[in-house]
Amino acid sequence: MTRHAQMANGVPGFDARSSPAANIDFWIYRFDQELTAAVRDRCGLLLTDEERDRIARFHTQERRDQALIARALSRRALARRFGGAPHDWRFSATDRGRPFVSGKENAIDFNLSHAAGCVVCAVAAGARVGVDVEPIARAGDINEVSARVFSERERRRLKDLMSCGVADAPVRLWTVKEAYAKALGLGLGLDFRTLEFVFDAGFSDLSLMSGDGSWRFHSAVAQGVAYSLALQSGGENPVIISRDAACLL
């Protein structure tokens, strides 16, 4: 069975740079209210001209704000963990579009996800990570396409759980698969039915049906949103330090 990672709540004053190398920093930013001009300005200063131009091309303010926070958060989170100035970090992407830290792809990893009202960023040293976030309200939408993204065995398990009142099960399983695919850098072109998972009702025991045991998975629900993280950490069982990203921005 693939062991799931441990989750620890953040504490005031925690300095991610002092955490053990195996631990994962998991930053969460929630859009509890519209961004102020001051926050937009501060975040914009951290970005390159190319990043700002790309963000400006989004058609809605919501999408622009999500992209802005995601880019700024990744820089702040990396600088907090590893030092240096946030605006000095540089990024590249694989042929499939997976971002990585330029020149550090084997030592440092990070991954981003955003959905309505939320942005998450995971940062790790010596581990591959992937994250995904989706509103629980999307359970019905995901269930409608379940035959295209879940295996027959997974669909039977989801049906059993939903009949017992576990209404968020489709969203949680989808975000686990998305997080794993993002960690692998495979993107949406993958046949997600081939990524078959075994899971309990609370998604506290998550494992790949077939795998080498090097991957860990974590799934949580808070404030109407499902969060999932996949990580490959070379046999260690890291602690995931969950932090409110508002203090970084």
Cα maximum dimension of the chain: 51
Distance from the first to the final alpha carbon of the chain? 38
Do the Cβ atoms of 229 and 123 come closer than 8 Å?
no
Q: What is the dihedral of CA 130, 244, 46, 58, to 10 degrees?
A: 70
The 8-class DSSP code of residue 53 comes to H
Q: What is the pLDDT of residues 98-142, one digit of tens each?
A: 999 998 877 899 999 999 789 999 999 988 999 999 999 998 899
Residue (of 175, 162, 169) closest to 111 by Cα position: 175
Beta bridge partners of 114: 119
Provide the percentage of residues in the chain whose pLDDT is more than 90: 69
Can you give the pLDDT at residue 118?
93
* Tokens coding 21: 């190398």
Can you give the pLDDT at residue 22?
67
pLDDT bin (cut points 50, 70, 90) of residue 6 is very low
Range of weakest confidence among 11-15, 36-40, 137-141, 152-156: 11-15
* Tokens coding 49: 């001209």
pLDDT bin (cut points 50, 70, 90) of residue 233 is confident
Domains of the chain: 6-248 (3.90.470.20)
Rounded mean pLDDT of 51-60? 95
Residue (of 126, 210, 122, 200) closest to 166 by Cα position: 200
Can you give the pLDDT at residue 146?
94
Do the Cβ atoms of 247 and 14 come closer than 8 Å?
no
Do the Cβ atoms of 72 and 121 come closer than 8 Å?
no
The overall pTM is greater than 0.85: yes
Q: How far is it, in rounded angstroms, from Cα 249 to Cα 72?
A: 8
Residue 4 has pLDDT above 60, yes or no: no
Q: How far is it, in rounded angstroms, from Cα 160 to Cα 181?
A: 25
Q: What is the pLDDT of residues 196-211, one digit of tens each?
A: 999 999 999 899 988 7
Can you give the pLDDT at residue 65?
95
Residue 16 has pLDDT above 60, yes or no: no
Residue 10 has pLDDT above 90, yes or no: no
Can you give the pLDDT at residue 5?
45
Residue 15 has pLDDT above 80, yes or no: no
Can you give the pLDDT at residue 210?
84
Do the Cβ atoms of 58 and 64 come closer than 8 Å?
yes
Mean pLDDT over all residues of the chain?
87
Q: What are phi and psi of 151, to 5 degrees?
A: -70, 165
